[in-house]
Structure 1
Amino acid sequence: MTIHLAVEDDVAVLTLEHGRGNTLDTALCRELVLKLEEAADVAKAAVLTGSGTMFSAGVDLLSVDAGGAVYVSEFLPALSDALLAVFGHPRPLVAAVNGHAIAGGMVLAAGCDHRVAAAGTGRIGVTELLVGVPFPLAATEILRCAYGTTPLPALMYSGATLTIDDAHARGLVDEVAAPEEMLGRARELAGRLGELPADAFAHTKAQLRQPYHERIAENRAADDGHVERMWRAEPALAAVKSYVDRVLKS
C-alpha cells in the first residue's frame, strides 16, 4: 500500500506513503485514482497529505532512470490520470502540505481546492526544466487554474523552490499553520466545505474549472504524444540519469 485512507467525521484523509519522498511512480498514480474514487464514496470531503516530512518530491526519477523509454510510456498517462483525478475530484479536497512539495508534488497541491502548509523548512516549486523534461498538459493547466498564467514563467523557467513563507506571500499556498496544527486545520476546512450541499458544490467546482478541463480534453492526446517523445528521447533520458546520479544518488 502506498496511500493510506482513513475516515473520521465524514472527512477522508489520504496519506501518501511511498519511500523517502512520497514520489510519483506508475503504481502510486494508479492507486491515487482509485483512492480518490473511494474517498468520494465514503466521505463528504477529503484531505491529501504526505507521510513524514515530505508532501511529495514529484516524479520518481529513479524509476524513470531504471525503466527508460518503456517505463515512460506507461508512466506519463498514469501521471496525467492521477493529476486529473485530484483536479476533478467532485468533493471538497484540501491539501495538507506537510513538507516539500516539488514538481509533480506541487501540482498535486495545486489541484486541490485549498492548501494549508506546515511552517518550517519545506520548499515548494516546479523543477522539471532543471531535470530536462516538460510537464504534460494536465499539469500545466492545473497550475494555471490555481495561480493564473502570469506567475508561471518565472516559476517554471527558473525551477526555483520557494520557502513556505515566500510561497504563502506569492499565493502558492493559502495559509500556513504550525506543523502540529496543520493537519487538523486542513481537516477542519475540509469538514466545513463538506457541509455545503454536495451537488451544488460539485457543479460550482466544475464550472470554475471547466475552461481548463476543456483545454486538456481538446489537446491532451496531441500534447501527451509530444511530451512522451521528448521524455523518451535519448538526451532527456541522459539528463534524467545525470540528475539522478548527481543529486539523488550522491
Structure 2
Amino acid sequence: MLEREDLDVDGVPVAVLRMAHGPVNAMDLELCQALAERFRALATDPARAVVLTGSDRAFSAGVDLKRCLADGEPYVARFLPALCEAFRAAFELPKPLVAAVNGHAIAGGCVLAACADTVLMAEGSARIGVPEVRVGVPFPRIALEVLTAAVGERVARELVTGAQTHLPERAARLGLVHEVVPAAELSVRAAAVAAEAAAAVPADTFAMTKRQLHRACLERVDRYADEDAPVARLWTAQLADGWVQRYLRSVTGR
C-alpha cells in the first residue's frame, strides 16, 4: 500500500514514500489511514525530508468512488474523516515534502500533491486537477485550504469552480506544479529537491516557519468544523441519487 525507500542524498537522509495501492492508487479508507499514520510518524523520523510519489500510471486518481457507491453511508461516514486526516498529516509535516507526480493526480490526488512544499510533475499526457463539483460532491474544508495555500485564492477558485484537469505545462502556469520534469528524471530530481530544501535551513527553523505559514489555514479548518456534517450529507445524497454513478459512466464508459 505504501512502500518506503530510504536514500542518502549528499549526506541528507530522504524518505521516499510510494503509493502502490491498486492500478491508480485510488484513495480509500485504508490508504488514507495509512497515509495519515505514516506522515505523523515521519514527523519524528530520522529522515530530514520526504518525497511522496505514485506507481504505474498514476500518482493518485483520487477518491475510490466505486467503493463509496458500493458501501454507502456507513463507509462514507468513516472515509471522509480519514481523508481529511490524510491531507492534514501531509500538510502539517514539519519537514520538506516534495510530491513527485508521476502520472494522473485527480481530485483527492491533486489535493494530496498540493499538500507538499514543492510539486514536480513528469512530462507527458497525465493530468492534474480537482473536478469534484462535476462529480457532484463538495470539498471538505481542509481540501479548500490546502489548494488556497498552494496557489492563492484566485487560482484556487478557478480550479475548484472550473472543475477541469490540466496537462503538466498548464498546471505549471497555474502554479499547481512548480517544475515539469522528464519522466525518467523525476525520481532523482525529487530526491535532490527534497535534500536541498532540508540542507538549506536548520530543521527546527524550517518546522517553525512552515507551522507559521500554515497556521491560519488550519485554524480555519478547525473554526469551520460545522461544515463537516453537511458535507457528509451531500456526499451521501449524491451517491444515492445517481449523480456520482452518472459521472463515473461519463468518464469510464461503464
Q: TM-score, normalised by structure 1?
A: 0.95
Unaligned runs of 5+ in 1: none
Partner of 2:82: 78
One-letter amino acid of the counterpart of residue 62, structure 2: G
Query: How far 1:129 sits from its partner (Å)?
Result: 0.7
- Alignment check: 8 A CA contact 1:65 1:237 kept: no
Partner of 1:13: 16
Off by >6 Å, runs of 4+ in structure 1? none
Superposed counterparts of 1:55-74, under 5 Å: 55-74=59-78
Partner of 2:42: 39
Partner of 2:31: 28
Whether 1:175 and 2:179 are equivalent positions in the alignment is yes
Partner of 2:115: 111
Partner of 2:159: 155
Deviations 1:11-51 (A, max 9, x none): 00011111111110000000001122333313110000000
Unaligned runs of 5+ in 2: none
In 1, Cα distance between the equivalents of 2:97 and 2:88?
Answer: 13
In 2, Cα distance between the equivalents of 1:110 and 1:235?
Answer: 26
Specify the SS of the correspondent of 1:95. Answer: strand
In 2, Cα distance between the equivalents of 1:207 and 1:184?
Answer: 30
In 2, Cα distance between the equivalents of 1:70 and 1:4?
Answer: 29
In 1, Cα distance between the equivalents of 2:37 and 2:129?
Answer: 27
Query: How far 1:229 sits from its partner (Å)?
Result: 1.0
One-letter amino acid of the counterpart of residue 223, structure 2: E
In 1, Cα distance between the equivalents of 2:53 and 2:240?
Answer: 30
**How many residue pairs are counted as aligned between the two chains?**
248
Residues 234, 208 of structure 1: alpha-carbon distance in 2 compared, 3 angstrom cutoff: closer
In 2, Cα distance between the equivalents of 1:136 and 1:237?
Answer: 20
Superposed counterparts of 1:210-229, under 5 Å: 210-220=215-225, 222-229=226-233
Query: How far 1:244 sits from its partner (Å)?
Result: 2.8
Query: How far 1:234 sits from its partner (Å)?
Result: 5.2
One-letter amino acid of the counterpart of residue 203, structure 1: M
Q: Which of 236-245 and 23-32 deviates more?
A: 236-245
Query: How far 1:243 sits from its partner (Å)?
Result: 2.3
Query: How far 1:70 sits from its partner (Å)?
Result: 1.1
In 2, Cα distance between the equivalents of 1:8 and 1:82?
Answer: 24
- Alignment check: 8 A CA contact 2:98 2:193 kept: yes
* Equivalent residue for 1:54, pick from 58, 69, 72: 58
* Equivalent residue for 2:236, pick from 227, 232, 236: 232
Query: How far 1:107 sits from its partner (Å)?
Result: 0.4
In 1, Cα distance between the equivalents of 2:125 and 2:54?
Answer: 15
One-letter amino acid of the counterpart of residue 217, structure 2: Y
Q: Which of 41-50 and 239-248 deviates more?
A: 239-248
Q: TM-score, normalised by structure 2?
A: 0.94
Specify the SS of the correspondent of 2:138. Answer: coil
Question: What is the RMSD computed on CA atoms of the aligned residues?
Answer: 1.4
